[in-house]
Structure 1
Amino acid sequence: MDSEFQGVKKCVILTGMSGAGKSTALKVLEDQGMFAIDNIPPALLSQLMVILGKHRAAVRNGVAAVVDVRGDTLLDDFPAAISALKNQIQEVSVLFLDASDRALLARFEATRRRHPLHDEGSFLDGISRERIRLKPILELSDTVLDTSGLSLPHIRKKLLSEVSGTSSQDFLIFTSFGFKYGPPADCDFLFDVRFLSNPYYVPELQNLSGQDREVQDHIWNSGEAEEFWKRLVSFLEHVIPLYLGTGKSHLHIGIGCTGGRHRSVAVAERLAAHFRPFGGMCSLRHRDISREQGW
């Protein structure tokens, strides 16, 4: 049987207080490639894992599911459902998102949302009833994440740290390309390096690429090129953490020259080598390196 379809191996159950950030957390995990589902009755979790055993993303990256007070009396099934789930798949974790009453009240007032238990009395009455209702679930939780005063980037960082054991699962994508074939449509940043010395006009380098040492030495063998490199790296080292800190799961950086075989490839290669040790995931693509380079 194809190893890609041997069942779901990881499930993260997101639960906790209304307004504590469960929807935000679910979106973060979905951006990491997990199959996401909101407001599922606990008793259906086991059946869901069986169905998703044929879903590529769920098998490869896991499932994230929100179970909360909107389930009403169906929440009574939570302890038995979690016990069954832990006997069914390899890795099950229950993450309880919480926040202070003051923080929850401020969030509801800011969004003008209605608390799910706000039938009678004040918002604080609804919050108090919810805490009582969720107490058995809180006791079964593996981790409690207090989001009081946390911004989206901080929630994201803490969540990924708890779920994956690392503070970053970001992806940096470096793509070299040729402007004569058009730039990639999905880049967050584009850098034009056509001002660098072009190895295409050096006969012994023409049939090589920016992956070859001779081409790289030719491109970087000038003070102007090295000064460009220093400024480019300084800029990216400043911008990349800020950009990824907004909650985006990846940053796509395009490097373009005329044909996409020499200069852009050399710059992308050097960037990928420079940023890989900084942590997270870094991928490198040379879109046009194999194209015919005739002019």
Structure 2
Amino acid sequence: MGIYNVKKLVVVTGLSGSGKSSTLNILEDQGLFAVDNIPAALLPQLLELLGTHDSAVVNGVAVVVDVRGKDLDRFVTISREIRARVEDFSVVFLDATDEVLVQRFNTTRRSHPLGDGVTILEGIKRERDLLASIRQEADIIVDTSNLDIRSFRPALLKALGSPDPQLTVLFSSFGFKHGIPNDSDYVMDVRFLPNPYYVPSLRDLTGTDEPVKQYIKEQFPDWEVFLDKTVDFFEFLLPQYGRVGKSSMHIAIGCTGGRHRSVAMVEWLELIFEEQGYRVTSSHRDIDKH
């Protein structure tokens, strides 16, 4: 048996209610090909199948294997065979105290996956017994008892030795008369700025043109104050969203038509935040509309 084309495999397992689905979502955000609830016996076949999938080969695969698969007794043997054929293989075991798990089940009003005929606490105890050998096999054990939504992602990535992905910022311009972008996280209105549309020589230009930018600067005496305060605001705000695990932010900037003032503002902010090391993209949705 040779080496799998898939170079990285992360198997997520552990107690029900410990955060396996959240972990899988985080790994998927990291670029891994994610598969939930796969029986252990099917792991070799999955790796063979994904050996022709570009994303899985390049970025790796993350799977959840747990008591729903009904074949945990085979996991240790299968995982050892896979470990010999995958360059980067790890088993991440998620755990939590019985009290915390019971509380989580009660909060979500879900029954334990081992069946409706047992109490939640009894189901947890049975599950611990079934997972005991797998826990011993784990490369990484993460206790999620004291982790809330904000702290879960950074704690998990730290345990995995993975840096949190850098926040990507999209600055987009739009015209209010064409509607606010539905997917925006923040909307900024710059219709108070002097409007180049009413200057005949500037009307057919856009905010990407230097004469339009120069006009706004000259006609708005507090331009530098406004720009500095805007930059200060987003300099404070963006890291806060990065700390809670948000991987991208869409900041939409609007003027009346979306051709002059909002476009110029996006151009300035894009340049400033690129210089600060952010991954920045920009778009001008309404720049060609009249």
Alignment of 1:80 with 2:77, yes or no, is yes
The question of whether the paired residues in 2 share the 8 Å contact of 1:175 and 1:252 is answered with: yes
With 207-216 and 182-191 compared, the bigger mean Cα shift is at: 207-216
Q: Percent identity?
A: 48
SS at match of 1:77: helix
Unaligned runs of 5+ in 1: 1-5
1:66 corresponds, among 61, 64, 69, to: 64
> Where does 1:200-239 land on structure 2 (aligned, <5 Å)?
201=199, 203=201, 210-211=207-208, 215-221=212-218, 222-239=220-237
Is it true that 1:115 corresponds to 2:94 in the alignment? no
Counterparts of 1:91 and 1:83, CA distance in 2: 13
Output the CA distance in 1 between the equivalents of 2:278 and 2:100: 31
Of the three residues 270, 274, 286, the one matched with 2:284 is 286
Out of 33, 45, 48, the position equivalent to 1:47 is 45
Structure 1 residue 91 and structure 2 residue 57: aligned?
A: no
Q: 3-state SS of the aligned residue for 2:45? A: helix
- In structure 2, list runs of 5 or more residues that go unmatched: none
> Using the alignment, how far apart are the partners of 2:158 and 2:270 within structure 1?
24
What is the alpha-carbon distance in structure 2 between the residues aligned to residue 187 and residue 254 of structure 1? 6
> Hey, what does 1:104 align to over in structure 2?
101
User: Taking structure 1 as reference, are residues 80 and 198 closer, same or farther at Cα in structure 2, changes over 3 Å only?
Assistant: farther
Structure 1 range deviating more: 125-134 or 231-240:
231-240
What TM-score does the superposition give when structure 1 sets the normalisation length? 0.77
Given candidates 173, 176, 183, the residue that maps to 1:176 is: 173
Which of 11, 15, 22 is residue 20 of structure 2 equivalent to?
22
Q: Against the structure 1 CA distance between its residues 9 and 97, is the aligned structure 2 distance closer, same or farther, given a 3 Å change threshold?
A: same
Structure 2: distance between partners of 1:166 and 1:193: 36
The root-mean-square deviation of aligned C-alpha atoms, in Å, is 3.5
> How far apart are residue 32 of structure 1 and its match?
4.6
Structure 2 distance, partners of 1:257, 1:189, is 14
Following TM superposition, by how much is the alpha carbon of 1:187 offset from its aligned partner in structure 2, in angstroms?
1.6
Which 10-residue stretch deviates more, 144-153 or 175-184? 175-184
